[in-house]
Amino acid sequence: MRPNSSAPQPDPTHPPIPLMPRLTWPSLFTALMYAFMYFPIIVLGVYSFNDSRYSASWDGFSLRWYRALFSDRRLLSALQDSLTIAVVAVAISAVLGTLMAIGLARYRFRGKALYRGVSYLPLIIPDIAIAVATLVFLVSMAVPLSLATIIAAHMVFCLAYIAVVVSSRLQRLDPNLEEAALDLGATPTQAMIQVLIPQLAPAIFAGCLLAFVLSMDDLLISSFTAGGGANPLPIEIFSRVRTGVKPDINALSVVLILGSALLAGLAEYVRYRSDRIRQST
């Protein structure tokens, strides 16, 4: 006899999910944490639509700062510089970083562990050290500072980030894949282009995105390696806010945040779609 057999038992596999979360300590902490992270950004976003020149008062809704932003030639050319630097540095790093990861994973040679450690070092070294070292090197070699020197300096960390992300994917990949391609008659180059690279594509894409965002964001290394001609966006913004924050910078920040959110969303969508194609039945 089981005395409780008729009483309704909670189903352990499907615990009831309350529709409205009750106010508990964990939910309160969660709310506080999100407020801590995103409140400044929300304030910034709201004030970018403020008609007033000063952040202290709210004079009504306006798009004037966005209009000012898009007619500011200096700002637009700074954005263009930043995009040029990021795109070129990431593109070159994507190729080199991927090859570096494959080389470090696939071949056995003397001092491999040391080589691997050294190649990821830019992730650990403080940016200021890279910036100073690059400047000292460029000056001592009498290389004139320009857009090209910023690109070269950005490649240092872009390369390391892309190589790290691609390496971690490579380690989870079936080591027989390349051999299978060779076995079916592909030359080593064909095997790499037709089998290995497509398998690594999501990781290469993710690494590029990370490197792109870091490059767009970089102030320190750029400011040490920029000559008179180049003026990337972070440097431009920094030089403007030193004389006080104007609402057009708020508007610019909102544009930048939306841009990166769009990029991250796109990356997530690509990842989701490729997963769905490969895993749904």
Partner 1 sequence: MAQTVRAATAAAVTQTQPDVELRQVFKTFGADLAVRQLDLAVQPGEFFSILGPSGCGKTTTLRLIAGFETPTAGDVLIQGANVSAVPAHRRPVNTVFQSYALFDHMTVKDNIAFGLKIRHLAAAQVRDRVGDALRLVRLEPMANRYPAQLSGGQQQRVALARALVNRPAVMLLDEPLGALDQKLRKQMQVELTTLHRQLGITFIMVTHDQEEALALSDRIAVMNNGQIEQIGTPSDIYDRPHTPFVADFIGDTNLLPGRIDEAHPAQVRVTTESGLRVLARAGNMSSNQAVVVSVRPEKINLSLGAAGGNGNCYQGQVSHLMYLGTHLHCIVRLSSGESLTVRQPNRADTPIAVDTPVYVHWAADDCLALEAA
- Interface residues with partner 1 (CB under 8 A) are 174, 176-177, 179-188, 190-191, 194-195, 198-199, 201, 277-281
Q: Which residues contact 78 (CB under 8 A, 6 or more apart)?
A: 231, 232, 233, 235, 236, 237
Residue (67 or 106) nearer to partner 1, CB: 106
Q: Is-contact 195 186, C-beta < 8 A?
A: yes
Task: Quote the least distance from Cβ 175 to partner 1, whole Å.
Answer: 9
Helix 25-47 and helix 247-279, axial crossing angle in degrees, nearest 10: 130
Q: Output the smallest distance, CB 119 to partner 1, in A.
A: 25
Q: What are phi and psi of 58, to 5 degrees?
A: -110, 110
- In angstroms, what is the minimal distance from the CB of 193 to partner 1? 11
Paired tokens of 5: 């057999």
For residues 277 and 281, what is the distance between their CA atoms, to the nearest angstrom? Answer: 9
Looking up tokens 């995105």 gives: 209
Least Å from the CB of residue 108 to partner 1: 10
Q: Which is nearer to partner 1, 180 or 264 (CB)?
A: 180
Q: By the 8 A CB rule, do 236 and 74 touch?
A: yes
Chain length of the chain: 281
* Identity of the residue, 18 or 185, whose beta carbon is nearer to partner 1 in the bound complex: 185
Shortest separation between residue 184's beta carbon and partner 1, angstroms: 4
Q: Tell me the helix, strand and coil percentages in the chain, rounded to 5.
A: 70, 0, 25
Nearest by Cα to 148 from 190, 88, 106 = 88
Min dist CB 100 to partner 1, Å, is: 22
Compute the distance between CA of residue 255 and CA of residue 263 in angstroms, rounded to an integer.
12
Taking the complex as a whole, the smallest distance from the CB of residue 172 to partner 1 amounts, in Å, to 12
| 184 vs 258, beta carbon nearer partner 1 | 184
* Closest to partner 1 by CB, 188 or 259: 188
13 or 189, CB closer to partner 1? 189
Cβ nearer to partner 1, comparing 77 with 190 = 190
